[in-house]
Amino acid sequence: MSVLESLRKRSGLLVAIVGLALLAFVLTGLFERGSSIFGSSERAVGEIYGNPVEWNTFDNKVKEALENQKKNTQKSTLTPEETDQTVQQVWNQTINEMVMDKEYQKLGIAVSDEELYDLMVDHPHSALVRNLSDQQGKVSQMFADPQTGQVSPSKIKEFTQKMTDEQEQSWTKLEEYIKQVRTVEKYNNLIKKGLYVPSAFAKREYIATNSNATVRFVMKPYKMIADSTIKPTDAELDSYYKEHQNEFKQEASRKLEYIAFDILPSPEDFETTKKAMENTAEEFKTKKTSEDSAFVISESETRNYDLTFHTKGTLSPIIDSTMFTAEVGTVKGPFLENGSFKIYKLESTKYSADSAKVRHCLIAYKGAASAPPTVTRTKEQAKSMADSLANLLRKKKGDFKDFVAKYSDDMGGKNAQPDPKNPKKFVMGKDGEYGWVNSKSGFVEPFKDGGLDNKKGDIVVVEAQFGYHIMEIEDSKGKQQKVQVSSIETKVVPSSKTMQGVYVKASEFAGKYNTNELFQKAVIDEKLNKRIADNIKENDKTIAGIESPRTLVRWVYDNKKGTVSEAQEFGDKFIVGVITDTKEKGIGTMEDVKEGLTAKVIKKKKGEMILKEFADASSGKTIEDLATKMKVQLSQPYTNVNFGSGGGAPDVAQDGNFMGTVSALKAQTLSKPISGNDGVFVVYVDSKTDAPAQKDYKAQQSSQVAQMAQRVDYEVYDALKQNANVTEHLVRFY
């Protein structure tokens, strides 16, 4: 029995709900189960436990999820990013069904109808509360208790009695979602409750992290021997490869080398755009001031009519001087700036103060920037209140300072405190006082303009994003000219003819150099700038420097090594590429890992050489003598070195071999030569301080269990997913 049915059986008198809004549910991957998702691997979006996940069934779920997403976001179309995210959610849900459900069934984990009712109504689950709240975490009024603001069980009951069919479908899916969340919690909690750290382990950890040593060491780094002097044999490479297979595990990846043919405007494109803008400029000259805003918005690519008044030095350098001496209505341009042609028109000019001393009283409204949460008035109410208070101040029927204390919503000003050591020192914001402002002050433009554009003694109301500022201009200095300049902008873009020309060039290159050998030769002969995209994973959604590369990723996985692509368009360029390397998931072949394998063998051989040097030099020697004989520097003494200190000694801080050696040595003992991460070292322990004695290790046990429990929520799922051999081919279809 669903919670919805239970609600209808249990509820008594129903209260009518007027104007029910569609819930803004955040539902991820809630789809009907039961149909088989396995089918032919030729049309598989992935594999789980070696079984192909058939595309047709999967795609039906994707379509359903996309429709749900459109309804929830009230959009007719989704962005590519939103579509990708939804597809990934469906895939994650599929993994959950095939991998996690198997675990739940095996362990008998389930959520009963009674428990679900409790989670949906009596004691709303946190996931339900999130779905009934806005982005700021405030519960919707439809479901909130008017006294506490928390989710109200009675309001949930009321809502479920008056749902539309569409809302009922969403609510049913939400029930399923909460049920899944609770199931996951039960599974993870079961594992967490089963975690245990033996007291012997806790004791060992305690001793390791609380026993300190003072050490010195000598180390000869591997880099002191040039790689070029070491020549591993094929037998050495083969032997190391066979003995260290796990070091060469790899994910499937591809390497693409490509030439980008940039689609740039031609000189003809620049000339064509310039002529069109010259015609626009002539028409702009004929427009009346009242017509300018509509004309600018219709003709400019920015679709913006700038109402800002600018001071000298704040306009484009091309027109900055001209506009301050020209007559209103003057049109200048077109000028080429940063790849765009621009036309400018002087709309208006005025004079204002260079600086002004101001104070203000802020009347905010709900939704204004930085408005205190206690503010509930509307924008219209705030404007009316500001106008009324300003009129009272103009008529001398109130003191500005008192108005600030009583009405201002400027919390920064209200919280401003005088300097106890200098009570007379000016404190910005106190009593609404903001001192002197100028065009470069760090205030929003409307606030600065309100002070600079009015006269000493004026009291004005200025609108800004924070609300309405009642401003008094206490004083002003100087005089400066300001101009309002509108602009029309058109970016120069490649024409169809230009794009076709670049495409032909790229296609000819792809056809002529259609093998890897020819491709690489052409790069050298023609001195081309070859770019490399390495380690491309099958489901990568981005490649640096290539716009929306999904089709390119799909292509490199659909073709073999050595294949040269046709010319493909990506954003502002055509690309011709060649697949130069392919790696499949698993243990890399010797050819795949040749470079890394060689480096490892060289390092091993260097270690063997240095170990022999140390062995020859260390017999009967002190660590000081050893440093001299090896011609390396003896380290300074490092104190408080233990496993919990990250190694203590900077040069070997993360080297487990070093720390293991220190922990095993007794005080005043010299170690044997040990191969570490960066070189071969010999360590001398000057002294050791044992960890303080302790009766039991329950605190350490609890701490270690808590640390492990934090990893359960994500590591268990990842381990099960890895065990299921999950592979994904979504890029081939989406």
141-198 confidence digits (pLDDT tens):
889 888 888 999 999 988 888 888 888 888 898 999 999 999 999 999 999 999 999 9
530-536 β-sheet, strand order? 530-536, 253-262, 573-583, 568-570
Tokens in use for 616? 């020859």
Tokens in use for 611? 């170990």
Comparing C-alpha atoms, which of 432, 442, 567, 556 is closest to residue 502?
A: 567
Task: Express each pLDDT in 643-680 by its tens digit.
Answer: 776 555 666 767 888 888 888 899 999 999 999 999 99
Other CB atoms within a 10 A radius of the CB of residue 129 amount to: 14
**Residues 500, 504: Cα–Cα separation, whole Å:** 6
Tell me, what DSSP letter sits at residue 306? Answer: -
CATH 3.10.50 fits 252-264+494-584, yes or no: yes
Which regions of the chain are under pLDDT 50?
A: 1-41
Cis peptide, bond prior to residue 334, ω within 30 of zero: yes
Q: Residue 651's pLDDT is what?
A: 65
**Residues 657, 647: Cα–Cα separation, whole Å:** 10
Assign 3-class secondary structure to 149-205. Answer: CCECHHHHHHHHHCCCHHHHHHHHHHHHHHHHHHHHHHHHHHHHHCCCCCHHHHHHH
CATH 3.20.20.60 fits 355-477, yes or no: no
The CA-to-CA distance between both ends of the chain, in Å, stands at: 38
Q: Residue 308's pLDDT is what?
A: 87
Interaxial angle between packed helices 623-630 and 594-618, expressed in degrees from 0 to 180 and rounded to the nearest 10: 120
Tokens in use for 184? 């996951």
Residue 295 Cα distances to 315, 332, 490, 559, angstroms: 21, 16, 14, 52
703-710: long-range contacts, CB 8 A cutoff, minimum separation 24: 704/197, 704/201, 704/202, 704/205, 705/195, 705/196, 705/197, 708/195, 708/197, 709/192, 709/195
Q: Residue 392's pLDDT is what?
A: 95
DSSP state letters, 532-554? EEEEE-TT---BTTBSS-HHHHH
Q: Which helix (H) or strand (E) holds 117?
A: helix 113-117
**Residues 43, 301: Cα–Cα separation, whole Å:** 44
DSSP state letters, 28-76? -S-----S--B--GGGEEEEETTEEEEHHHHHHHHHHHHHHHHHHHT-S
Q: Residue 165's pLDDT is what?
A: 86
Comparing C-alpha atoms, which of 34, 259, 257, 99 is closest to residue 726?
A: 99
Q: Residue 671's pLDDT is what?
A: 93
Is the entire prediction scored with pTM above 0.85? no
Q: Residue 424's pLDDT is what?
A: 78
Q: Are 578 and 517 in contact (CB under 8 A)?
A: no
